[in-house]
A and B are shown apart, each in its own frame.
Chain A
Amino acid sequence: MNIPLSITKNIHDWLFEVMSAPVATVVEKVLIAVAFLGFFALAGLLLVYMERRIAAFFQLRLGPNRVGPQGIFQTIADALKLVSKELTGTVKADQFLYKLAPYFLIVASLMALSVLPFSKELHAFDINIGVFFLIAISSIGVIGILIGGWSSNNKYALIGAMRSGLQTVSYELSVGLSILTIVVLAGSLQISEIIEAQRNGWFIIQGHIPAVIAFMIFMIAGTAETNRAPFDLVEAESELGAGFHTEYSGMNFAYFFLAEFINMFIIAAIGTILFFGGYLSPFGITESIPLLGVFWFMIKVLGLVFLMMWFRWTFPRLRVDQLLTLEWKYLLPINLFNIVLMAIIVWLGLTINF
């Protein structure tokens, strides 16, 4: 049984039927952009809600449970509150940069979202440098954090931003190298090819030992790159305020906050694509229905997001010197060794294939 449910193709054909070609192209691109913006906001709300419920679950609390059934409208209420708040800022801040900073983060996260494959056909931008593009984009978000901290004209914000930027820049290296380990196994940077190569077993099984090591490094470095606990020393409440927590308010703050949650989603999605077969169903059980790829993709991504939230309530926070020691003295050498190990395994054909 094969149900050809190609929504994107049907919409594409319909658009080109009713309009002339250039207009249809523009309209199509605008539609895709709007869809991604909508997804960005919705996923942000969902993740905030999930975070609160899971935090409550780990601490034996109830969490939000008043606004709507099981408190599902709580984050909407929060969003409305943030929208209605006044945008305050310091007079002595560099106004132009102060207002510009949140958009750097948002644009970077949106561009990273655009290359994620939600299913085989729901894939907006499948370039042949795929994963490398993700690494390139993730390095732009840091600029937003740094500028936000500096333009606030506040020394606490500045120090917080410096720490945050430092952490992101150094852990980007580990994320990139662990991604490269999998690229060695996949033999391609293109996301669709990486996923199709996993039809004979997900990469975490195909690459066995080095793939598991790479996955562990990826999750550690990914958690650190998104500035989440246990690496959230930029917002250690007892010590200092993070770069943007100090002076931003209302929607400007929400942009930063939303971008952080979306970055968590993106890290989990990259992990899913590289190690758990992206939209592929386990053992190919629903291969005849391609649209269910969305379901599998979201299940896997939310599973990894849950893992990251689990980290948050399990490990105590690191000090800044421990953080840098972990990256430069442990993760980086292990990672370099791991790439060589993976290359040897691929070279000798020791991968596990079903």
Chain B
Amino acid sequence: MEQIIFYILSLIMVVFAIASVTSRKILRAVVYLLFVLIGIAGFYFLIDYNYLAAIQLTVYAGGIIVLFIFSVLLIHHIESKLEVPSLGRRLLVGFGSLVGASVTLFTIWSHPFNVAENSTKATEVADIGRGFLSYGEGGFILPFEVISILLLAAMIGAIIVAKGTRLTQKN
């Protein structure tokens, strides 16, 4: 049963990934990308990793795709199509992708994967939370706090960029 779902999901993801790259209408490409991302969330659900699946849905499907759609809505007219790049560029990109794919595939094939023990226990959110805030062995408090500061800096930066010269003027 799980295998069948796995193959269905993989098929959906491969088909939509190809469709996303080849589509010449930009919003369609974004929607196909959304399906791929939802497929990844489906994988996480399949391996009982509910937390990561929900994160995948909020951050990628709900956040990044909505951001993409907003920018497409603002800058792109519905009837305009993406132009087809020149032959040389297509060949170059194709070659680059081929190299990337072969490196990835070579790594996957040469690495001996151990079959994970079939753990039926799903990871609880509480455990993840404790992991984030523990400063003992295997705790993630430092990266957690560093990321918090990074996000804060990004937020302040975004406000400054958006406000521009109005920050110094008195209004």
Q: Which residues of A contact B (CB under 8 A)?
A: 22, 25, 92-94, 96-97, 100, 127-129, 132-133, 135-137, 139-140, 142-143, 146-147, 149-151, 153, 158, 161-162, 165, 169, 188-189
Among B1, B51, B73, chain A packs the most CB atoms within 10 A around the CB of B73
Question: Among the listed B25, B58, B124, which residue makes an inter-chain contact with A128, where contact means beta carbons less than 8 Å apart?
Answer: B124
3 closest A-B pairs (Cβ-Cβ)?
A: A139-B62, A136-B57, A136-B54
* Chain B: CB-nearest residue to A107: B38
Residue contact B58 to A136, C-beta cutoff 8 Å: yes
Residue contact B79 to A169, C-beta cutoff 8 Å: no
Residue contact A146 to B125, C-beta cutoff 8 Å: no
Q: List 11 A-B contacts (CB under 8 A).
A: A94-B78, A128-B122, A128-B125, A133-B50, A136-B54, A139-B57, A146-B69, A146-B70, A150-B72, A158-B73, A169-B66
* Chain A: CB-nearest residue to B65: A143
* Chain A: CB-nearest residue to B123: A128
Whole-angstrom distance from the CB of A146 to the nearest CB of chain B?
Answer: 5
Task: Tell me what chain B mostly uses at the interface: helix, strand, loop, or mixed.
Answer: helix
Q: Cβ of B34 < 8 Å from any Cβ of A?
A: yes
Residue contact A150 to B31, C-beta cutoff 8 Å: no
Write out the residue numbers on chain B whose beta carbons fall within 8 Å of the beta carbon of A151: 27, 78
Write out the residue numbers on chain B whose beta carbons fall within 8 Å of the beta carbon of A135: 54, 58
Residue contact A94 to B62, C-beta cutoff 8 Å: no
Whole-angstrom distance from the CB of A157 to the nearest CB of chain B?
Answer: 11
Residues of B in contact with A, size category: 20 to 34
Q: Which residues of B contact A (CB under 8 A)?
A: 1, 25, 27-28, 31, 34, 50-51, 54-55, 57-58, 61-63, 65-66, 69-70, 72-73, 78-79, 122, 124-126
* Chain B: CB-nearest residue to A94: B78
Whole-angstrom distance from the CB of B65 to the nearest CB of chain A?
Answer: 6
A162 CA / B131 CA spacing, docked (Å): 39
Write out the residue numbers on chain A whose beta carbons fall within 8 Å of the beta carbon of B62: 136, 139-140, 142
Write out the residue numbers on chain A whose beta carbons fall within 8 Å of the beta carbon of B61: 136, 139-140, 143
Question: Among the listed B28, B66, B72, which residue makes an inter-chain contact with A139, where contact means beta carbons less than 8 Å apart?
Answer: B66
Residue contact B125 to A129, C-beta cutoff 8 Å: yes
A133 CA / B62 CA spacing, docked (Å): 12
A335 CA / B43 CA spacing, docked (Å): 34
Write out the residue numbers on chain B whose beta carbons fall within 8 Å of the beta carbon of A93: 78
Write out the residue numbers on chain A whose beta carbons fall within 8 Å of the beta carbon of B126: 188
* Chain B: CB-nearest residue to A152: B78
Given the known inter-chain contacts A135-B58, A137-B57, A189-B125, please indicate yes or no for A143 contacting B27, CB distance below 8 A: no
* Chain B: CB-nearest residue to A159: B73
Whole-angstrom distance from the CB of A130 to the nearest CB of chain B?
Answer: 9
Residue contact A150 to B73, C-beta cutoff 8 Å: yes
A93 CA / B25 CA spacing, docked (Å): 12
A143 CA / B58 CA spacing, docked (Å): 12
A169 CA / B31 CA spacing, docked (Å): 18
